[in-house]
Homo-oligomer: A and B are copies of this chain.
């Protein structure tokens, strides 16, 4: 099915989903979950074909791991759908209602966005997660995954649509672009007639391509050049725990720390004594001149390092004068994702929160908490690093828009 046809079908389905009740949407999600589990073998066999083809193409081990499914991973996908079913339905209620002087009653009701397109890379679990979140929030979805996972995605989407249809999921509600050429992605980015928002999930190259080429509204996600700033009034033991966790607990994700800034007064103490856990874990340190002088195992950072998201066990370290330089450095080099100060000073903590421009700003906690689950949203479809529409982790609420419903009794202006 071509991209335009998927758009036509998704738009038609979106009108049925727009007014569908919560119970029915939940039944659809449970049916989809049950189908994934009961047909685990079919998914695994499609996935095996993808894995063999990917191995032949020689993709990286990390990517191969993300691509490969197991019965446990499929059970996780199914349980993810059930978890979404258990979340409150964001649709239909009003954020507020006012009575105007002329008697008009105006309710600002929450409605679905309509048709959400998602372009993503190798992970097939996104296929089920994204479909579940979109259906629960009353949206139709057009999925365009990477070529490596295409057989798996086809199997998963067919199962979900067939099982959902038995509970009333409209045809076309979950569309999959089976043509994984660059052209199909570009066509989806320009399908303004049918697509209400496009969410790219993937690396810097994908995000850049979408921003450059899309004419549909876009939510940028997930680039994270995150800093931890260790203030001269920090609890240095806490700082050590936080930078270790922020760098090492999962280095390939966007909320991992990529940069360490240390205030000069504590630089010698912290850099000489606070980085042992990082060394033990095998983290490569790239330092400014001052940092390199204090850390024998560090190598010099170059100008690009300060802007780079490594997604790996690498950390660049810079000595700064103090909070002023830290804030201006972060605002000049960060990707406005997650930024942290470690300090016991009250006023500096508040200043950092006020003046650092990022989706999430932390005092004395690891940047790794920037996540829909950790923030209490229940689930997330991505982390927005733009300011328009949504910022930070996006849950069900972020997949909605509003509609002003005006109740009159003959008012004219």
Contact = CB atoms under 8 A, between A and B. Distances in A.
Contact of A387 (B19, B211, B401): B401
Interface string A329-369: 00100000000000000000000011101111111111011
A403 B391 contact: yes
A168 to B, nearest CB: 17
B365 A406 contact: yes
A180 B157 CA distance: 50
A196 interface: yes
Q: How many copies does the complex hold?
A: 2
A363 B107 CA distance: 12
B365 A241 contact: no
A362 B401 CA distance: 18
A361 B408 CA distance: 11
Given A196-B387, A359-B403, A388-B389, A413 B354 contact: no
A402 interface: yes
B410 A402 contact: no
Interface of A: 15, 18-19, 98, 100, 104, 106, 111, 113-114, 192, 196-197, 211-212, 215, 217-219, 235, 238, 241-242, 244-246, 249, 331, 353-355, 357-366, 368-370, 374-376, 386-389, 391-392, 401-413
20 contacts: A15-B331, A15-B357, A106-B375, A114-B387, A196-B386, A197-B388, A211-B215, A217-B387, A235-B410, A242-B410, A361-B404, A361-B405, A362-B406, A364-B411, A365-B407, A365-B410, A366-B412, A369-B413, A388-B401, A391-B402
